[in-house]
């Protein structure tokens, strides 16, 4: 299988994407690229369709128009087999963790390993233990059920499951939402570290200005049904758009900037 | 991209064990060599080991974990043991993985199976006892609230009550009526078949009349309402509980018993007798139509015979039960809704439990009534 040169740079290419729910149009002719090895933060006001964009890329919400290319393949145009092979190369962390409630954390992580890699027994357990330790959970957490975990631990466990197949691309939906500031900062560090050591590409939907400053290589701003700005944070901050100005120059935006500078 | 397999060779140079790894050492390809690698490290515990990574084309955390695991399993802790041939990113990954090799717990330990069975049995018995107590206290609370509302009628929620009368009662009439009509017809068919053997076709009227008026009309209504409206009560109140709406009510000084429970209980107690009445009527109609079409009992004859033989007692015997059934169904539906805790699983469990308990108690109460009627010759 050969891949076009541009696809190596762009892990995700979204072209002319339109999505809608009934009459309500969420995205209209939206373009977005995610480069290999970067952390892209997607920001935007509530209801601008950040999560919908993520769902359109990972195949949960079929766009009404447009092309989504992941790893150079047109995700909605290829056969089910190719699609599955793409799906095995990414991991998704949903907002609430989305752990299977009837399985323990370790069993949750072993589920995709069993299903896709046909690996059972000791190796699967070792892999689960590795992932649990990598996301910073204690070894005892492996035997716990999702209902016994705190919100932060659930997110870590969800990330461990997203990393189970050693994906090249990870989608994170509001990874720090609902975490206390200390937990959120740790999660930021964790994501940066994993990106460094595993060479991950990360697509992250977030509201959190501190996360943007701490982890993201580039930021895409969603507004008016499109990506109105995309680039390094400092560039995006200069964009002349009311929402962008308010977002970055509001009290929280300034505090996050000060924290970064200090 | 053709996935090459993960492979390794071993040899000994100057008394030092060497593991030469090559190929694709990623999660998708290391599965087949895991057990061989384990055997290797079991056989060479405590020896000097050099791992040569020069031939590794691709490496991910799983591959790195296998290499590090093998390395640490054999490690003799002398300087002769080392990992060579790694590229810089590979080395960084190996270093990172080194800190994450501890095994983890997979599933909680449940203990001896026999003990677990005993424990579950005991728990079930205790739970039954406690939930019976709680149900009693809930019934008490409902009655106390009712008394309070009787003394202060301004506290009565008319809108809510009427809404539930429509939703839980009126909307159920078509399906209950249809079912009762069909049951009446089925009973008449059975009667026609057997009674005609004795040339006693005319007794079909009594068969249909007594069974539908005393039992089927009210019992079928209760069963359907328990499945349809009792479970809806649990789901409504339970989801309000999950979204903390009940807590919000309490801190706003609204009594959930008064706002949520009492209107539902009263609505059902009012509506079920009406539904049961319609059900009984349609059941008899079903029986009469079958008698007219499948046997030689005309509608006029059916009605005449019905008037002559079915005394009003049969009708009252059925109708008296309706409010009791309604009370039980509504109270259990609301009680289970209030017992919902936190998660959606709990809501599902409670909804199921609500229907099962309501049906069980309806049948128990029905049996008590049957015995009671027998004793007083009603």
Contact B65 A127 (CB under 8 A): yes
Q: Reduce the DSSP state of residue B58 to 3 states and report it.
A: strand
Domain residues for the domain of A205 are 7-261
Residue A1 falls inside a structural domain = no
Residue B182 pLDDT: 95
CA A154 – CA A147 distance, rounded (Å):
9
Tell me if A152 sits within 8 A of A187, measured CB to CB.
Answer: yes
> Residue B78 — pLDDT band, cuts 50, 70, 90?
low
Contact B105 A130 (CB under 8 A): no
Tokens of residue A108, six digits: 């949750």
Of A212-226, B44-58, B177-191, where does mean pLDDT reach its minimum?
Answer: B44-58
Which residues in chain A are closer than 8 Å to B38, comparing Cβ atoms? 122
Residue A219 falls inside a structural domain = yes
Residue A97 pLDDT: 82
| CB contact residues (below 8 A), chain B span 301-360, against chain A | 342-343, 345
Q: Is A37 left (phi over 0), alpha (psi -120 to 50) or beta?
A: left
Q: Please give the average per-residue pLDDT across B242-271, as a whole number.
A: 93
**Shortest distance, CA B1 to any CA of chain A (angstroms):** 5
Q: Is the pLDDT of residue A184 over 90?
A: no
Residue B1 pLDDT: 42
- Rounded percentage of chain A residues whose pLDDT exceeds 90: 24
Point out the residue among B61, B103, B342 whose CB comes nearest to the CB of A139.
B103
Residue B76 pLDDT: 62
Q: Is the pLDDT of residue A3 over 50?
A: no
**Shortest distance, CA A34 to any CA of chain B (angstroms):** 22
Question: In chain A, which residue's Cα lies nearest the Cα of B26?
Answer: A166
> Residue A199 — pLDDT band, cuts 50, 70, 90?
confident
Write the burial class of residue A171 (CB in 10 Å: 0-12 exposed, 13-18 middle, 19+ buried).
Answer: buried
The H-assigned helical ranges of A93-137 are 105-117, 121-134
CATH 3.30.750.24 domain locations along chain B: 6-98
Contact A144 B26 (CB under 8 A): no
CA B255 – CA B257 distance, rounded (Å):
5
Q: Is the pLDDT of residue B61 over 90?
A: no
The total number of residues written for chain B in this structure: 378
Of the residues B5, B106, B347, B349, the best mutation for testing chain A's interface (the one with the most A CB atoms within 10 Å of its CB) is B106
Contact B108 A143 (CB under 8 A): yes
- A88 vs B134, more confident: B134
Residue B55 pLDDT: 85
Q: Is the pLDDT of residue B110 over 90?
A: no
| CB contact residues (below 8 A), chain A span 9-48, against chain B | none
**Shortest distance, CA A60 to any CA of chain B (angstroms):** 22
**Shortest distance, CA B197 to any CA of chain A (angstroms):** 58
> Residue A4 — pLDDT band, cuts 50, 70, 90?
very low
Question: In chain A, which residue's Cα lies nearest the Cα of B109?
Answer: A143
Residue A203 falls inside a structural domain = yes
DSSP B324: H
Residue A7 pLDDT: 43
Which residue's structure tokens are 């290499």? B67
- A152 vs B352, more confident: B352
Residue A2 falls inside a structural domain = no
Pairing of strands A73-74, A65-70: antiparallel
Pairing of strands B49-59, B16-25: parallel
Q: Does B4 touch chain A (CB under 8 A)?
A: no
Q: Please give the average per-residue pLDDT across A186-211, as a whole number.
A: 86
Note the pLDDT tens digit of each residue in B266-307.
999 999 999 999 999 999 999 999 999 988 888 999 999 999
The H-assigned helical ranges of A20-150 are 50-57, 80-87, 105-117, 121-134
Q: Is the pLDDT of residue B4 over 80?
A: no
Residue A46 falls inside a structural domain = yes
Tokens of residue B182, six digits: 């069909």
Query: Radius of gyration over alpha carbons of chain A, in Å?
Result: 18
Which residue's structure tokens are 């009309």? B217
Domain count along chain A: 1
The pair phi, psi for residue B225, each rounded to 5°, is -70, -35
Q: What is the mean pLDDT of chain B?
A: 89
Q: Please give the average per-residue pLDDT across A42-53, as a whole number.
A: 88
| Contacts of B104 by beta carbon, 8 Å cutoff, 6+ apart | A106, A125, A128, A129, A132, A133, A139, A140, A141, A142, A143
Pairing of strands B49-59, B82-84: parallel
Residue B3 pLDDT: 54
Q: Does A81 touch chain B (CB under 8 A)?
A: no
Return the CATH number of the domain spanning residue range B6-98.
3.30.750.24
Residue A241 pLDDT: 87
Q: Does A126 touch chain B (CB under 8 A)?
A: yes
What's the CATH number where A195 sits?
3.40.50.300
CA B160 – CA B236 distance, rounded (Å):
13
Q: Is the pLDDT of residue B87 over 50?
A: yes
Residue A239 pLDDT: 86
Residue A38 falls inside a structural domain = yes
Q: Reduce the DSSP state of residue B372 to 3 states and report it.
A: helix
Contact A130 B92 (CB under 8 A): no
Of the residues A130, A133, A151, the best mutation for testing chain B's interface (the one with the most B CB atoms within 10 Å of its CB) is A130
CA A115 – CA A117 distance, rounded (Å):
6
Residue B240 pLDDT: 94
- Rounded percentage of chain A residues whose pLDDT exceeds 70: 96
Q: Does B99 touch chain A (CB under 8 A)?
A: yes
Note the pLDDT tens digit of each residue in A241-256.
888 888 888 887 777 7
Which residue's structure tokens are 């049996």? B367
């Amino acid at each position: 299988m050969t891949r076009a040169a541009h696809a190596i740079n762009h892990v995700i290419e979204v072209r002319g994407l339109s999505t809608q729910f009934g009459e309500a149009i969420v995205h209209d002719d939206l373009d977005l690229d995610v480069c290999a090895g970067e952390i892209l933060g997607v920001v935007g006001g509530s209801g601008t369709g950040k999560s919908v964009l993520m769902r359109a890329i990972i195949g949960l919400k079929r766009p009404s128009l447009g092309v989504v290319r992941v790893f150079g393949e047109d995700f909605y145009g290829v056969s089910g087999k190719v699609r599955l092979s793409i799906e095995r190369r990414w991991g998704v962390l949903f907002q609430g963790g989305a752990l299977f409630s009837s399985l323990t954390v370790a069993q949750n992580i072993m589920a995709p390993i069993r299903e896709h890699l046909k690996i059972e027994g000791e190796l699967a357990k070792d892999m689960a233990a590795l992932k649990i330790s990598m996301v910073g959970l204690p070894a005892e957490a492996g035997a716990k059920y999702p209902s016994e975990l705190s919100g932060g631990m659930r997110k870590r466990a969800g990330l461990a499951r997203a990393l189970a197949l050693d994906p090249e691309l990870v989608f994170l939906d509001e990874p720090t939402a609902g975490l206390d500031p200390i937990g959120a900062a740790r999660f930021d560090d964790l994501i940066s570290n994993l990106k460094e050591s595993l060479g991950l590409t990360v697509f992250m939907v977030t509201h959190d200005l501190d996360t943007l400053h701490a982890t993201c290589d580039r930021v895409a701003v969603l507004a008016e049904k499109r990506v109105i700005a995309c680039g390094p944070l400092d560039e995006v901050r200069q964009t002349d758009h009311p929402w962008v100005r308010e977002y970055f120059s509001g009290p929280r935006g300034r505090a996050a900037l000060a924290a970064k500078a200090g | 991209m053709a996935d090459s397999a993960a492979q390794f060779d071993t040899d000994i140079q100057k008394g030092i064990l060497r593991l030469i790894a090559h190929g694709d050492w990623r999660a998708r390809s290391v599965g087949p060599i895991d057990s061989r690698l384990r055997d290797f490290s079991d056989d060479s515990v405590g020896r000097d080991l050099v791992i040569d990574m020069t031939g590794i084309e691709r490496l991910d955390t799983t591959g790195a974990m296998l290499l590090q695991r093998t390395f640490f399993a054999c490690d003799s802790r002398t300087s002769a043991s080392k990992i060579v041939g790694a590229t810089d990113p590979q080395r960084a990954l190996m270093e990172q993985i080194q800190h994450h090799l501890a095994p983890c717990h997979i599933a909680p330990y449940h203990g001896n199976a026999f003990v677990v069975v005993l424990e579950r049995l005991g728990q079930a018995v205790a739970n039954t006892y406690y939930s019976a107590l709680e149900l009693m206290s809930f019934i008490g609370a409902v009655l106390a609230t009712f008394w309070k509302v009787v003394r202060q009628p301004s506290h009565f929620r008319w809108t809510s009550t009427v809404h539930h009368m429509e939703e839980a009662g009126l909307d159920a009439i078509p399906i209950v009526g249809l079912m009762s009509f069909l049951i009446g017809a089925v009973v008449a068919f059975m009667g026609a078949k057997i009674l005609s053997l004795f040339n006693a076709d005319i007794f079909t009227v009594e068969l249909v009349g007594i069974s539908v008026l005393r039992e089927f009309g009210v019992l079928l209504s209760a069963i359907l309402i328990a499945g349809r409206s009792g479970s809806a009560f649990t789901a409504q109140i339970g989801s309000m509980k999950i979204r903390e709406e009940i807590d919000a009510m309490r801190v706003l000084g609204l009594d959930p018993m008064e706002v949520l429970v009492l209107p539902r209980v009263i609505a059902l107690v009012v509506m079920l007798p009406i539904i049961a009445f319609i059900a009984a009527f349609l059941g008899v109609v079903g029986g009469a139509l079958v008698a007219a079409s499948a046997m030689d009992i005309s509608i006029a004859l059916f009605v005449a015979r019905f008037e002559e033989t079915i005394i009003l007692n049969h009708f009252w015997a059925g109708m008296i039960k309706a409010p009791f059934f309604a009370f039980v169904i509504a109270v259990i539906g609301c009680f289970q809704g209030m017992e919902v805790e936190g998660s959606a699983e709990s809501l599902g469990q409670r909804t199921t439990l609500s229907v099962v308990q309501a049906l069980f108690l309806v049948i128990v109460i029905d049996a008590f009534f049957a015995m009671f009627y027998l004793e007083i010759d009603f």
